[in-house]
Amino acid sequence: MKILHIGEYIKGGVATYIRMLLEFQSCHDKIDTVDLILSRNHSETKWSLSDNHIFYYEYERKVVYIFKAIFQIYKHIRTIDPDIIHVHSTWSGVFVRILYFLSYRRPKIVYCAHGWSFLMEISNFKKKIYASIERLLAYKTDAIINISQYEHNYAIKYGIPASKCVMIYNGIQKTNYNESKKQNFQINEDKINILFVGRFDRQKGLDILLDTFAEYKLDNIELYLIGDSVLNKHKISIPNSVHQLGWVDNSIIDEYYSMCDVVIIPSRWEGFGLVAVEAMKNKKAVIASNRGALPEIVLDNYNGYIIDIHKRDELYSLLINLDKVKLKKMGENGYALYKQKFTDEILNKQILELYMRLLD
């Protein structure tokens, strides 16, 4: 079995997801080869595959690059000749499936949107357009992975064929501290240390969090940010009182999770919420918005808190009353949920079974 993964801007949570699949599949005795095609720009560069199994295409999110990207991707596919193409995220889903729209013979295609475009915070008109495109492209898709029950239900509601849909929760590997790369990262144990991890864009809601810190006095809180803007137009202003750590290599990020008291996810929309699971595997409580699939992962008052992101007074009240002892207990609860539902073993087993069913 020859597997090819294709993505666009592979960074952050999607990169973590793909990296985990590559590491498992490249060592499995039922899989002969694993390859990866991704955009050279705005993608992570460290992968477990050897260089001759990684292919880049030149691309920016501009109309002039689209046909060039499709041509480059098609050229690489012809060279690799895979049995299964596993496509990740919306734009790469368009690039790959449009190639085969007039072709009868093709590899099996597995598609994962990693968050449906028609569930973003956009106008109803745009939602209908995006859903129509996804329904059309579904004709050239053999299996469509929904990363949460929320995504699965809405996919079917918007007309994605139920017969092709399967719900497979994201999963992540167990905590792996890299002592050789130990960071000189100090925190104030007398305060509640909150960690935000993600892109600094509108979806992730960091502006909401920063506005709350600007409006209210939160002397009991230290806020740390891991991440940055992927696109220049999403640059935001960060107060000097907030600790900006930049992008952190995946091999050492668990150390940062381990040192905080709670992780916060103020997203406006979220198809899954991989950061929440990363926090849970590190036994950390999570404060999350009531959007998308986050309430599936963060059970209010059990392994964290669910908040309405538009009610800053409620967020402020929660923040000033956080208790380290209760947060620690919530972290233990979250770790139990992680082992039950969100490990990499569960995810990899389900995806491999899906591949096998398609080829059978």
State pLDDT tens for residues 61-91.
Answer: 888 889 999 999 999 999 999 999 999 999 9
Same fold, 2-173+343-359 and 179-341: yes
Q: Are the C-beta atoms of 276 and 197 separated by less than 8 Å?
A: no
In the predicted model, is pLDDT for residue 19 greater than 80? Answer: yes
Q: What is the pLDDT of residue 146?
A: 97
CB atoms within 10 A of CB 293: 27
| CA proximity to 141, closest of 194, 191, 188, 88 | 88
Say which amino acid occupies 16: T
Query: Is residue 255 over pLDDT 80?
Result: yes
Burial (CB count <10 Å: 0-12, 13-18, 19+), residue 70: middle
Res 179 pLDDT > 80 = no
For 275-298, the pLDDT digits (tens) are 999 999 999 999 999 999 999 999
Output the pLDDT for position 10: 87
Q: What is the pTM of this model?
A: 0.84
Q: Is the separation of the CB atoms in 294 and 276 below 8 Å?
A: yes
pLDDT at 84: 97
pLDDT in tens, 107-155: 999 999 999 999 988 899 999 999 999 999 999 999 999 999 999 999 9
Domain 179-341 class in CATH: alpha beta
Q: How many CA atoms lie within 13 A of 36 on its CB side?
A: 28
Cβ atoms within 10 Å, residue 316: 16
Strand partners, 108: 84
Annotated domain spans of the chain: 2-173+343-359, 179-341
Q: What's the confidence (pLDDT) of residue 177?
A: 62
Please report how many Cα atoms fall inside a 13 Å half-sphere around the Cα of residue 182, on the Cβ side: 4
Q: What is the largest CA-CA distance in the chain?
A: 64
DSSP string, 161-203: -GGGEEE----BPPP---GGG-------TTSEEEEEES-SSTT
pLDDT score of 321 more than 70: yes
Distance between CA atoms of 4 and 118, rounded to whole angstroms? Answer: 26
Compute the chain's Rg from CA coordinates. 20
Mean pLDDT for all residues in the chain: 91
Q: What is the pLDDT of residue 145?
A: 98
Q: Quote the CA–CA distance of 315 and 306 in Å, as a whole number.
A: 10
Q: Options 1.10.150.130, 3.40.50.300, 3.30.1600.10, 3.40.50.2000; which CATH number does 2-173+343-359 get?
A: 3.40.50.2000
